[in-house]
Structure formats: structure tokens, C-alpha cells
Amino acid sequence: MLWLLAGLGSIAIAGAAFWTIFSRYESLETGVLQKVSSDATLLYDYLDKMYLRQSMNRCYLAILIPTGVFGLIGLGVGFNFGILSGFLFAFILGAVGYRIPILIIKMMFSRRLVKFDKQLVDALDLMANAIKSGLSFMQVVQVIEREMPKPCSEEFGMVLKENRVGINLSDALMNMTKRVPSEDLFMIINSVVTLTQQGGDLSEAFDTIAKTIRERQRVLEKIRTLAQAGVTQGFILSMMPIAMLGMQFIIQPNYVRLLFVTPVGLIMMGFMVCLITAGALWMKKILAIEV
């Protein structure tokens, strides 16, 4: 009797879901297409900022292929527990596959930004010494392009390229702050633009900014070290329910199977995922300290 009620409940839920999709198909299709187009454009912009330019078609494929692969994996795994579980697993893993390319690109961009900030201190010292030796600011930028490693050399090299095609130096420098959203870089560019327009000692300004950035990075590293324990604890707490569920599946698979084949079990699983996600985001918010 219990299995009959569970089967009828699963059919009712699946029927309601399919009816909702069918009745609102046009609006859902428009929303999905807009979302995919927006994320593909975002992916294109990140790749363009990292000088890894790709066509829009490849950006679409980079999103759709992992979505389809993960969705098929979820469908195959979920069908072992039932039809409804198959579609649920396909939706969940498909959503995961959809987000993976964007998360990877954002991670790559964040690492590039951190690397750029670390190189910026050495670039400031180089700029200060070059200006003290009598070079102009444009010559200093050429020295940075030639002597500094990537990504610092790429960004200052782009400033030179934009200036050669007729873009004003101040505008070219401000364009660099759009490609590299770094607070340290924005402070440097504002100082350069202000001092070149009103006059001033650039070498002294660069020395002062370099000292400020070094102190800021030292404090930031100390805070990250102190917050690492909380990050580790948050990861362990988030993974414990999943680990316990896996252990129970090995020890008592018949009981755990009910969570994936009955409506009540699926609701409980969804509630568990929501609580774990909310807890992880909450801890991340608490541990995110801005300097």
C-alpha cells in the first residue's frame, strides 16, 4: 500500500511539473535563452579580459556541453531509484554542469587578478626608479612591458597599443582599470592621471603607494591565515551530511533508497540541500573580510 501511494504521489508530482512546463513553455523558453545568452556573453567578456579570446559559438558550446553531459549522467544515475528521481537528478546535475564553466573562468580571472596585484608592487618600484633616472612615463610603461612577466606586461602593453592607435594616455590607463578591477591599480592610475595633469613628483608618489600596498597585502595575508581555520570548519560541516548519507547507503541501502523514490524523501533531500547551501553561504559571508 505504501509503495502504491508513493508511486501515485510521484506520478502526480511529475504530471504537475510537466503541465507547468507545457502551459508556460514560451515564457520559459524565452527566459532560458536569455539566461544562456547572458552567461555566454559573460564568459566571452572574462576570456577577452584574460586575452584568451574565443568566438561566441565556442562560449555557447562551453556552457551547453557540460550541461548536457552532467544531465545525462544524472538521468542514468537517477533512473536506478525511479523515473522521478531520474529527472530530478538530471535537473540537479545539469544545473551543476551549467555553472561549472563560469565558475572555472571566474576562478581563473580571480587568480590572474591576485597575481597582477602581487606584481604591481615590483612594477611600482621599477616605475619609481625609472622616473628617477630621467625616463618619461611612456618610456616607463615600455620598460614594464619589456621587463615584467604576465599579466602585468600584457596590461601595460595594451596601454601602449591603445595609445599608438590614437587613444589618449589617460583614457588608455582608465581602460586598464576596467579590464583589471583592482583597487591598488585604480589608486595608481588616479595618481598618475592627477599628477600628469597638475604636475608633481611621480617617483615619490609611486614609492608611497608601494609602501601602502605592501602593508595592505601583509595585513590581508594575516587575515586570510586566521580565517583559514573557519573555512576548513565550514567545508567539513557542509560535507558531513553528505558523508553520513553515503555511509548509510552502504550500510542500509534499502532505507536510504526511500529518500530518492518517495515524494516525502525527495522533499527531505531538497530541504537538506537548501539548508546545507544556506549554511555554506552564511559562513562564507561571515569569513569574507574586506581590507
Range with the lowest mean pLDDT among 63-77, 78-92, 121-135, 209-223?
78-92
Residue 44 located in a structural domain? no
Cell numbers at residue 57, please?
559559438
Residue 168 located in a structural domain? yes
Contact 248, 255 (CB under 8 A): yes
- Average pLDDT across the chain, whole number: 81
pLDDT beyond 70 at 4: no
Residue 105 located in a structural domain? no
72-102 residue pLDDT tens: 888 887 777 667 677 777 888 888 899 999 9
pLDDT beyond 60 at 210: yes
d(CA 234, CA 266): 25
d(CA 84, CA 10): 6
Q: At 136, which CATH number?
A: 1.20.81
Q: In this structure, what are the phi and psi dihedrals at residue 167, rounded to the nearest 5 degrees? A: -80, 135
Per-residue confidence at 184, pLDDT binned at 50, 70, 90? confident
Residue 267 located in a structural domain? no
d(CA 167, CA 182): 22
Q: What pTM was computed for the model?
A: 0.73
Residue 159 located in a structural domain? yes
d(CA 205, CA 192): 9
d(CA 222, CA 70): 39
Per-residue confidence at 171, pLDDT binned at 50, 70, 90? confident
Contact 234, 287 (CB under 8 A): yes
Residue 144 located in a structural domain? yes
In this predicted model, which residue has the larger pLDDT, 15 or 166? 166
Residue 26 located in a structural domain? no
Per-residue confidence at 10, pLDDT binned at 50, 70, 90? low
**Range with top average pLDDT, 4-8, 81-85, 236-240, 264-268:** 236-240
Residue 204 located in a structural domain? yes
Which range marks the domain in which residue 196 is found? 118-212
**Amino acid residing at 94:** G
Backbone φ/ψ region at 68: left (φ over 0), alpha (ψ -120 to 50), beta: alpha
Q: How many CA atoms lie within 13 A of 283 on its CB side?
A: 17
Our count of domains for the chain comes to 1
Contact 280, 234 (CB under 8 A): yes
167 by DSSP, 3-state: which? coil
Cell numbers at residue 201, please?
613628483
In this predicted model, which residue has the larger pLDDT, 20 or 171? 171
Residue 133 vs residues 51, 203, 221: alpha-carbon distances, Å: 32, 10, 33
31-61 residue pLDDT tens: 788 888 999 999 999 999 898 888 899 999 9
pLDDT beyond 50 at 234: yes
Q: What is the pLDDT of residue 3?
A: 47
d(CA 207, CA 126): 10
